[in-house]
Structure 1
Amino acid sequence: MKVVFAGTPEFAAVALKALHEAGFEIPLVLTQPDRPAGRGLQLQPSAVKQFAVAQGIPVAQPLSLRMDAKDPQRAQEAKAAHELLLATEYDAMVVAAYGLILPRSTLDIKPCINIHGSLLPRWRGAAPIHRAIEAGDAETGVTIMQMEEGLDTGPMLLIERTPIGPHDTTAILHDRLAAMGAQMVVKVLHKMAQGIVEAVPQPEHGVTYAAKIAKEEAALDFTHSARDLHRKIRAFNPFPGAHGTVNGTVIKLWGSELLEAGSNAPAGQVLAADAQHGIVVACGSGALRLTELQKPGGKRLPAAEFIKGFALDGLRFG
């Protein structure tokens, strides 16, 4: 089979590499335009583009695929991309975390299948990995689905599950699901080539939506339960990074342990900050032991190292 690939971040690049290594011919890759990144805000290619260029695969980076876009430049680029797809010989398109909406005009050219990091219909939308951890889900997984115009509503071609461990962060789960999705999409394409793939409609019940992560969500409110805050710290690692404020200083919180023992202290009060107990903070119910922290301009440090350069004993997280 000849496969056009559409994707942008590392999650997608893992799948593109797997398709390439499995021997699929990839005549074209679609990815988002280069974005400013780093301290110098230099334009950086996506992870997908970097792999494609290294393998000599043609790359297109339209701003949009919607030919009816109101912005003339986007509409023009979408038309050019559409004409390019029509001129490209391929059997299916694989989409993974592309970041652009595929309109009906694109979906109608050839079958389009998507690698989605959740157990659909739970967590349709932009941030399924973050939201599964934040909600305390016991398991998640990857669904390979046939794309249609609705938001992650298409029939399922293959679904596989994995447990969410008590210490799994979005970073850890991302890598696991990326590897799963890459192998799964190879299986599905082989089945498609043999004409034996089965499309199963998604259940009508159990639909939830994984809204895009807003940076404002990362500011922790210690009047919430320790269990909820522990989930948020894991869910927002590595992006956008959960944080609390002490005496006007924003401190990033990268790791924590859940303590069930209660306290009469006000929420946010630092109960301990020493080598013996670590950094323990009272919450609305229960308490958290913070295990990895970062002050502005500093490095991520274990709690024992952090308190050597930032005294927390007796202070309170706002």
Structure 2
Amino acid sequence: MAAGGRRVIFAGTPEFAVPPLQILLRGPEEVVAVLTQPDRPAGRGRAVAESPVKRTAVAHGLPVLQPTTLRDAAVQAQLRALQPDLMVVVAYGLLLPQAVLDIPRLGAINIHASLLPRYRGAAPIQRAIEQGETETGISIMQMERGLDSGPVLWVRRLPIEERETGGSLHDKLMQLGAEALREALDRLWDGRLHPEPQDHERATYAPKLKKAEALLDWQLAAADLDRLVRAFNPYPVAETRFRGKTLRIWEARPIPPTGLPAALPGTIMRADAGNLWVATGDGALALQKVQMPGKAPVEIGDFINGYRPEPGELLGSPAAPSA
């Protein structure tokens, strides 16, 4: 990649993309425009909300573009008129057609929250926890038409802690992504980056999280359920059914099967002294922080005092997860 101008279009939408934008704002790059998703209703009141990236861009006086598609010829002409040297993309949320990828002199690079080619797709952070990985990281990738399939330019690795949640890992990778971008750009501008093609045979995928996945299957092993609870915190939040209502499970820990009596999966095995153990397909899951509908999350001792769950009660049902 040859040296030259440093005019950058930034494309991103959620909180994860804000630190990389802030890094660019410190220079030496010139951010000539910011692409972000259109304003949309959000929250309980469904009020129209700006994306975190838009709020940051507006606060710094940057031009903001919010097209509904990048396939529009007029939008492409608008981007071309900016004469960008590079596009930096972070969790933008819209498909970039080849015509857009071809506009910047150096193409487009993407910050992806996994060690590519593993966990291509929309939810690499949560899927890595769900699958029991012990390491993840940030890949700075040259974008092409395929899904997260372009050559890798720069990598930063990060261990996944034993009790990591989707939220805690998101925050770590958000900051690491900004650091990795700075390191990659410092090398890109003077031609010291060397693209490494991905081994497509080793690719795995991280599909978007679905609310239906939140309903726990107590037939699974306690260790598997523990990973789901952590991966789905803070979204979509693991849940089960308790006395006909949705019980959200924010925190839990696995209990190994050694010494436990046999019990039907989903059965409350212990409910005393701040302990609520639920039988699983292998071992038990000790619930630690839960939430009933319309209530705030509470520690399990407070839940036990308030609802008096009893050993032998059965959690779970075929009912659909909450909306």
Is the structural similarity TM-score above 0.5?
A: yes
> Any idea what SS the aligned residue of 2:180 has?
helix
**CA distance in structure 2 between the partners assigned to 1:43 and 1:79 by the alignment:** 27
**CA distance in structure 1 between the partners assigned to 2:225 and 2:32 by the alignment:** 46
CA apart distance, 1:25: 1.3
2:82 is aligned to: 88
Q: How does 1:167-186 map to 2 (within 5 A)?
A: 167-186=163-182
- Given the alignment of the two structures, is residue 188 of structure 1 paired with residue 193 of structure 2, yes or no? no
- Given the alignment of the two structures, is residue 36 of structure 1 paired with residue 41 of structure 2, yes or no? yes
**CA distance in structure 2 between the partners assigned to 1:263 and 1:228 by the alignment:** 20
**CA distance in structure 1 between the partners assigned to 2:205 and 2:118 by the alignment:** 7
Which 4+ residue blocks in structure 1 deviate beyond 4 angstroms?
Answer: none
**The 10-residue stretch of structure 1 (148-157 or 38-47) with the greater mean CA deviation from structure 2:** 38-47
**The 10-residue stretch of structure 1 (139-148 or 204-213) with the greater mean CA deviation from structure 2:** 204-213
> Any idea what SS the aligned residue of 1:124 has?
coil
Structure 2 residue identity aligned to 1:121: P
**CA distance in structure 2 between the partners assigned to 1:210 and 1:263 by the alignment:** 36
Once the two structures are superposed, what CA deviation does each residue of 1:240-265 show, in whole Å capped at 9, x if it has no partner? 11101012110000111111034301
2:298 is aligned to: 301
> Any idea what SS the aligned residue of 1:184 has?
helix
Query: Structure 1: where are the runs of 5+ without partners?
Result: 67-77
1:72 is aligned to: none
1:75 is aligned to: none
Once the two structures are superposed, what CA deviation does each residue of 1:179-214 show, in whole Å capped at 9, x if it has no partner? 111111111111111111111111233210111111
- Given the alignment of the two structures, is residue 51 of structure 1 paired with residue 56 of structure 2, yes or no? yes
Structure 2 residue identity aligned to 1:102: L
Structure 1 residue aligned with 2:68, among 63, 66, 69? 63
Contact 2:88–2:108 (CA<8 Å) still a contact in 1? yes
1:20 is aligned to: 25
2:212 is aligned to: 216
Structure 1 residue identity aligned to 2:127: R
**CA distance in structure 2 between the partners assigned to 1:25 and 1:86 by the alignment:** 16
- Given the alignment of the two structures, is residue 102 of structure 1 paired with residue 99 of structure 2, yes or no? no
**Normalising by the residue count of structure 2, what TM-score does the alignment of the two structures yield?**
0.92
**The 10-residue stretch of structure 1 (145-154 or 30-39) with the greater mean CA deviation from structure 2:** 30-39
Contact 2:84–2:103 (CA<8 Å) still a contact in 1? no
**CA distance in structure 1 between the partners assigned to 2:227 and 2:180 by the alignment:** 28
> Any idea what SS the aligned residue of 1:137 has?
coil
**CA distance in structure 2 between the partners assigned to 1:80 and 1:48 by the alignment:** 23
CA apart distance, 1:52: 0.4
**CA distance in structure 2 between the partners assigned to 1:16 and 1:154 by the alignment:** 22
1:163 is aligned to: 159
Structure 1 residue identity aligned to 2:267: Q
**CA distance in structure 1 between the partners assigned to 2:123 and 2:76 by the alignment:** 27
2:284 is aligned to: 287
Contact 1:256–1:288 (CA<8 Å) still a contact in 2? yes
Equivalenced residue count is 306
Contact 1:142–1:161 (CA<8 Å) still a contact in 2? yes
**Normalising by the residue count of structure 1, what TM-score does the alignment of the two structures yield?**
0.94
Contact 1:263–1:286 (CA<8 Å) still a contact in 2? no
Contact 1:22–1:186 (CA<8 Å) still a contact in 2? no
CA apart distance, 1:316: 1.5
Structure 1 vs Structure 2 CA RMSD: 1.1
Q: Identity of counterpart residues, as a percentage?
A: 46
> Any idea what SS the aligned residue of 1:28 has?
strand
Structure 2 residue identity aligned to 1:303: I
Q: How does 1:70-149 map to 2 (within 5 A)?
A: 78-110=72-104, 111-149=107-145
Once the two structures are superposed, what CA deviation does each residue of 1:39-69 show, in whole Å capped at 9, x if it has no partner? 2110000110010011111100011112xxx
**CA distance in structure 2 between the partners assigned to 1:239 and 1:54 by the alignment:** 28
**CA distance in structure 2 between the partners assigned to 1:251 and 1:21 by the alignment:** 45
**CA distance in structure 1 between the partners assigned to 2:103 and 2:118 by the alignment:** 28
